[in-house]
Amino acid sequence: MRTEEFDFDLPERLIAQHPPAQRGGSRLLRVSSDGLLDARFADLPNWLRAGDVLVMNDTRVLKARLFGEKDSGGKVEVLVERVLPGQEMLAQVRASKTPKPGSEFRLAEGRVQVLGRQGEFFHLRLQASTDIYEFLERYGHLPLPPYITHAADAADDERYQTVFAREPGAVAAPTAGLHFDDAMLQTLRERGVGHAYVTLHVGAGTFKPVRAENIAEHVMHSERFSIPPATVEAIAQARANGGRVIAVGTTSLRALESAARDGTLRAGSGETNIFITPGYRFNVVDVLLTNFHLPKSTLLMLVCAFGGMQRMLAAYRHAVQHEYRFFSYGDAMLIDRSAD
């Protein structure tokens, strides 16, 4: 398939720059075999039932953007992609001149040594008196997506995290989860909808455009994920009771499908570069809650694989026509898996 088949016209005014005033205050587009239905996120319980299980990504976004300077006085910007053992990290580095292995520069109250390169990332070691996670929390800035034009502030520090975030490691939020507040989660529990968690640490590659004309030639980025035994058990119980698996976000879906490549879901941790495109056979997820994605993106390809290409492209045209808000701080869709 060609990348241009996943293109659509998106007016810039529909790119949400800020979240709604309250969590859960967004709109929701219901996409099913019955067609398209305009609704509110508050209506979500109407389409879930006792015995279903929600699977949510509990990753927590790091304050991964840091600013520093070379000993010469030149400015340096670092965007951490992944924290490694031993106070080390992989990161994008912006500087007037490319840092060389063995060189050092200052970040806040610490120094950073350049150990080498791994592809597009620099391999760095932090020399500081604090743990690297504490250092990022103290001196870093939240890395908002490139299509959000303002610098992260205190409001973003709260709203660009899900209420169930607990495992630090992502550089972008699992944005479908941003719609949930504690009241909605409690309502669903009271209605018998189960809750389970996976962890997938979203990398900056999630924003990487597909530059290949043929989607089969695109090289997918790799991300860390973990599926706990309790989640495997919760899904098995839901299946046994006739319930459905509802993935909250494409990241939860990618983690689950990565752990069930041979058709059987297993607990464990690993790396995934799974690239889901039309024609993929889903093994785990029945329903997907997700936001609206960028034109020609891998995530749009994923939702087209899940909901059916023509149905999903029609849903996107509908969303533009009815001025839904797009991307991370935007509105949501609830999609039934296509039977095709």
| pLDDT tens figures, 51-79 | 999 999 999 999 999 999 998 889 999 99
pLDDT at 321 over 90: yes
Residue range 303-312, pLDDT digits in tens: 999 999 999 9
Residue with tokens 């400015």: 75
Residue 32: both structure tokens together: 């099913």
Residue range 268-296, pLDDT digits in tens: 999 999 999 999 999 999 999 999 999 99
pLDDT for 339 equals 82
pLDDT for 42 equals 98
Cα 310 to Cα 8, 228, 292, 307, 313, distances in angstroms: 13, 35, 16, 9, 5
pLDDT for 183 equals 97
Whole-angstrom distance, CA of residue 36 vs CA of residue 317: 11
Instruction: For the chain, state the CA radius of gyration.
Output: 20
pLDDT at 137 over 80: yes
pLDDT for 140 equals 96
Whole-angstrom distance, CA of residue 111 vs CA of residue 104: 7
Measured at the CA of 201, the angle between CA 224 and CA 139, to 5 degrees, comes to 125
Q: How many C-beta atoms surround the C-beta of residue 42 within 10 A?
A: 16
The DSSP output letter for 100 is P
pLDDT at 340 over 90: no
Measured at the CA of 185, the angle between CA 181 and CA 187, to 5 degrees, comes to 115
Residue range 89-132, pLDDT digits in tens: 999 999 988 899 999 999 999 999 999 999 889 999 999 999 99
pLDDT at 135 over 80: yes
pLDDT for 205 equals 77
Residue with tokens 């533009």: 320
Mean pLDDT throughout 160-179?
A: 97
CATH 3.40.1780.10 intervals, the chain: 3-61+155-336
| DSSP-derived pairing of the beta strands 59-61 and 88-95 | unpaired
pLDDT for 72 equals 87
Asked whether 90 and 122 are in contact (CB, 8 A), the reply is yes
- Our CA dihedral for 197, 333, 204, 225, rounded to 10 degrees, sits at 20
Whole-angstrom distance, CA of residue 115 vs CA of residue 4: 39
Pick the CATH number of 65-139 from 3.30.565.10, 2.40.10.240, 1.10.599.10, 3.30.365.10: 2.40.10.240
CATH 2.40.10.240 intervals, the chain: 65-139
CATH 3.40.50.720 holds for 3-61+155-336? no
Residue 139: both structure tokens together: 């001196």
Residue 239: both structure tokens together: 């299946």
Whole-angstrom distance, CA of residue 231 vs CA of residue 267: 8
- Which strand (E) or helix (H) includes residue 307? helix 298-307
pLDDT at 323 over 90: yes
Residue range 183-242, pLDDT digits in tens: 999 999 999 999 999 999 999 877 777 889 999 999 898 999 999 999 999 999 999 999
Residue range 7-40, pLDDT digits in tens: 999 999 999 999 999 999 999 999 999 999 999 9
pLDDT at 261 over 90: yes
